[in-house]
């Protein structure tokens, strides 16, 4: 079935009414993982022409009930191609996704995986009423594409930055992105999220030094005409990636560092998966309780997260025995990730938004194909997950 036919089949005339009546419209923002294009550093590590599609293509079912490979409905496209990105932007906007929050990296004094944003997304976003923001994914980068059991998780790039590199990275953000008419603003302030607070603090030399660096960022942004920055922190109760920083008292850190809000990246940062195949409704029950618990933990507003699924098994060597005791990417997975169950999660988060006036909902993710959490259409559910966003929240078009 074509996307146009899907578009005609769903009535969203009243979908936004409750949110409009509450006095504030919510922005639906999907995290975007830009590793499906050719990057020089990836070629250095993995070979000429490599993209993470190579990992996705090799995925196979590892145990009974395991659904792999996940095959994109539109094929293994080059996201750095403006024509391809235009199709993604149009598809997102038609289905009620208002913004992409790009995972953004800065290693060894320069950005990494930036081409889809800079050469493909930014030239077309404003013409399609699509916003974007940056989540600085400042974790270390390790050799997990794929990972061979019994081998160390070798660090390929360090996510730590000193004061000079923090200034260089944030100057890049100010000069390249914040001025763009499609950059996402909350209450008129450009939105910047930071993934790993412990790694940030470690690189900058402590909490006080980190606060000074963030205050200086705010000052530079104001002098550049961007106004104050809306700083958002990613909350993480438990590490997932082997390169995730050790958890500290996040509520204290967020206060002392002067962040404006908190959100989450993915449900599995908060809620353990007790069985190899943990049903989506079970995780949703925890997540729904978690939105209120996280909001109560922080003095700053908490923006709720909805996760599409979870299955990082493609990032393991497929000939290995799948063993969740080894840790990521050998983990338990979320099963029954149907559009209907995702729609139930959206209905519950809409109710939460109407009650709390949260201006932003984050979704993991637009395209985390090798972690099993994506909105992009596949050959099993096609546009099913995207249709649920439009059904529950409507569109701005």
Average pLDDT for the chain: 92
Retrieve residue 148's tokens: 């061979």
What is the tens place of the pLDDT at every residue in 181-236?
Answer: 999 999 999 999 999 999 999 999 999 999 999 999 999 999 999 999 999 999 99
What is the tens place of the pLDDT at every residue in 257-307?
Answer: 999 999 999 999 999 999 999 999 999 999 999 999 999 999 999 999 999
| Angle, in degrees to the nearest 10, between helices 197-204 and 250-257 | 50
What is the tens place of the pLDDT at every residue in 324-339?
Answer: 999 999 999 999 999 9
pLDDT at 248: 63
**CA-to-CA dists, residue 280 to 9, 269, 373, angstroms:** 26, 15, 12
* SS3 letters across 97-111: CCEEEEEEEEECCEE
Q: Model pTM?
A: 0.93
What is the tens place of the pLDDT at every residue in 40-82?
Answer: 999 999 999 999 999 999 999 999 999 999 999 999 999 999 9
pLDDT at 16: 44
> Rounded to the nearest 5°, which phi and psi values hold at 22?
-75, -10
For range 100-124, the mean pLDDT: 98
**CA-to-CA dists, residue 58 to 20, 66, 301, angstroms:** 45, 14, 41
Question: Residue 44 and residue 107: Cα distance in Å, rounded?
Answer: 15
More confident position, 268 or 250: 268
> 267: which residues sit within 8 A by CB, 6+ positions away?
283, 286, 287, 290, 305, 307, 310, 334, 364
Share of the chain above pLDDT 70, in %: 91
CATH homologous superfamily for the domain 3-393: Glycosidases (3.20.20.80)
Q: Indicate if the pLDDT at residue 21 is higher than 60.
A: no
Share of the chain above pLDDT 90, in %: 87
Question: Residue 98 and residue 393: Cα distance in Å, rounded?
Answer: 11
Write out the DSSP string of 50-83: --THHHHHH----STT------BTT-S--TTSHH
Question: Residue 257 and residue 266: Cα distance in Å, rounded?
Answer: 23
Retrieve residue 146's tokens: 């794929």
More confident position, 211 or 395: 211
């Amino acid at each position: 079935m074509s996307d146009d036919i899907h578009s005609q089949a769903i009535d969203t005339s009243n979908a936004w009414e409750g949110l409009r009546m509450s006095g504030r419209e919510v922005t639906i923002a999907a995290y975007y993982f830009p590793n499906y294009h050719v990057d020089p550093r990836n070629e250095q590590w993995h070979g000429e022409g490599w993209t993470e599609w190579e990992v996705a293509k090799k995925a196979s079912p590892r145990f009974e009930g395991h659904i792999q490979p996940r095959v994109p409905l539109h094929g293994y496209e080059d996201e750095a191609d403006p024509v391809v990105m235009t199709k993604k932007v149009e598809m997102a906007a038609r289905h009620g996704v208002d913004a992409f929050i790009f995972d953004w990296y800065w290693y060894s004094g320069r950005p990494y995986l930036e081409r889809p944003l800079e050469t493909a997304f930014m030239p077309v976003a404003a013409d399609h009423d699509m916003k974007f923001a940056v989540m600085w994914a400042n974790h270390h980068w390790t050799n997990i594409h794929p990972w061979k059991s019994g081998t160390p998780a070798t660090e390929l790039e360090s996510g730590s930055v000193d004061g000079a590199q923090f200034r260089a990275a944030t100057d890049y953000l100010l000069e390249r992105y914040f001025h763009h008419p499609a950059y996402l603003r909350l209450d008129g302030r450009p939105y910047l999220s930071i993934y790993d607070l412990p790694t940030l603090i470690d690189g900058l030399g402590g909490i006080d030094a980190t606060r000074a660096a963030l205050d200086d960022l705010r000052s530079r942004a104001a002098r550049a005409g961007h106004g104050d920055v809306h700083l958002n922190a990613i909350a993480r109760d438990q590490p997932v990636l082997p390169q995730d920083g050790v958890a500290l008292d996040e509520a204290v850190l967020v206060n002392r560092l002067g962040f404006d809000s908190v959100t989450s990246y993915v449900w599995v940062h908060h809620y353990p998966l007790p069985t190899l195949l943990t049903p989506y409704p079970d995780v949703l029950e925890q997540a729904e309780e978690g939105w209120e618990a996280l909001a109560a933990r922080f003095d700053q507003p908490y923006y709720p997260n909805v996760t599409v699924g979870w299955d990082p098994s493609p990032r393991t060597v497929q000939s290995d025995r799948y063993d969740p005791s080894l840790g990521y990417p050998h983990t338990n997975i979320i099963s029954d990730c149907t559009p209907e169950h995702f729609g139930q999660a959206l209905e519950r988060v809409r109710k939460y938004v109407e009650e709390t006036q949260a201006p932003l909902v984050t979704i993991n993710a637009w395209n985390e194909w090798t972690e099993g959490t994506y909105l992009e259409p596949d050959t099993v559910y096609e546009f099913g997950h995207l249709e649920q966003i439009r059904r529950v929240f409507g569109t701005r078009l």
